Chain A
Amino acid sequence: MRPRTIQGNLEGLEATFPIFAVTSDVPDVDRTYHLALKATREALVEARLEQMPMGFRLGVCVGTTVACQLNDIPFYRSYRETGQPPLEPVYRFIAGSLAERLAEATHAEGPVLTVVNACSSGTDAAGVACSWLRANLCDAVIVGGADELSKIPSSGFYSLSVKSPALCKPFDRDRQGLNLGEGAGIAIFERQDSAERRGIASTLEVVGFGASADGHHLTAPHPDGLGIEQAIRLALGDAGIVPEEIDFINAHGTATRENDRIEGNALARVFGPQLRVVSTKGYTGHTLGAAGGIELVFTALALREGWIPANIGFENQDPEIPFSPLQQITPVKKNFALSTSLAFGGNNAAVVLCRREEKV
């Protein structure tokens, strides 16, 4: 982690709050798109889809929060001051949404959708992809989420008093809030019959998805966590498994007081006190619309590689949360894992991944 050069939409970003910035060579202009494109290209290579077969139906479903808004601060300042701002940011915006631009860049001609469900966008995109594939609307889907650091959500979270002045400590007793981050997490979901036709085998499978709405509050989860519990139970039901079959949970775990207490208790109700939980926000910060995509990829890699990363930042158990997250790298024992997301608007989403012993 290191502070980025502050310009454009990052102008004036408070120096007192840590941020997790991508330090590789990614342009500042259209940054979310470039982050997403970088991850998409890597995912397509791994899926051996750099060259698509003739007639291949590739869909794109990605989540974002920053890239779906015409939110260019210098543009708006110029509008306020001169009434004649340069229109370049508007032209860029109307050229296409994040998913549309990725579809154009990858020559995808299947369905295209940008999910804007705030912080659960990436996980909800996974749910859309599952629906498309089940409906046979396409053969494969570029799925995940991407977001760049921006002054606007940064100020918004500041106004909500949920930003931590120190590095975030998910599920810790003394957690003070979230750190913002940026990035992209992209996976390729493909129908089994399509993969077989292409001669592709994988040990990973998406087996369940669930989503729910709290219908309670715009910015706070339901105090009893009923919505996230419902989403988890729906995902398990969709996968046709019982909670005991889940090896570990990659939790939303933003390190805010409310999220971790409410999500933690919901997880404990579903999985019992022996559950194994990690929040990977300690590595990335809260990447908003990208979070579900990045955490989907973390979960898939943990299953594939056979080890779960440690919940960094955690030191002391919170008496209001009935478990401690994993504090060191831990071997995977079972074949199923769950990734959860909670969002503004009371949206909750959960996805179940499976590791097959043999490639299918």
Chain B
Amino acid sequence: MSAGRDMLCDTARAVFAEAATAGVAPVEEAGFALLLVPEEHGGFGGDWGDADAVLRIAGAMVPDLPVADLIARQAALLPAAVVSLMAGAMGQALALSIDHVNSRQQFGRPLAKFQAVQQSLSVMACEVRAVEAAAAALAVRLDAVNIDPSAAGFEIACAKLRANRAAGIVTSIAHQVHGAIGFTEEYALHRVTIALMRWRGEHGNDAHWAEILGRKVARAGGRGLWETLTSRG
């Protein structure tokens, strides 16, 4: 990660920490709406890799604030923005789950020492890694085409569909390993899991993207799929 992006992420963490209680105002004041605006138009001239990094932090820290709309600025980029939010929220759900099973004791030992719990969290971690990879690869594609969503339709469909599929698995395992405490209003898990439930259905649910993607691939033929994958990187 570049030094500039590191600084951007540090700023985002500080601003979102404030916004978690103060609402969206600090995010607007910090100028995140200008992240993708070119420098010659008075913006920060960031790329989608920057947007992905900021949105992942937003997904983990302020999933209920409209940060995606603020940054994406055009409807066609919202599915991509939501993939980054979902990657961040899933990472947070995993981190909370790992903390919980390491500290919560039952039967005289931490939950983390039970193989059943270990296997569940491994499944969850694989899903989270998959969505993180999807968000990162989508960012690489968008930046290769000057953030033109019409030139990244294949990747947007793949990434949102994969994130949608992971959402169900990640939320259910996170809640299962947390037990009753995770189901309370007081505990922070629901902030990310309810957001994940909402995002799965927004900007294209599974069926929406599966059919669009499937028809695109069917038109290219069996060999065409591999040629598409390898020519787009």
Do these two chains interact? no
Q: Which residues of B contact A (CB under 8 A)?
A: none
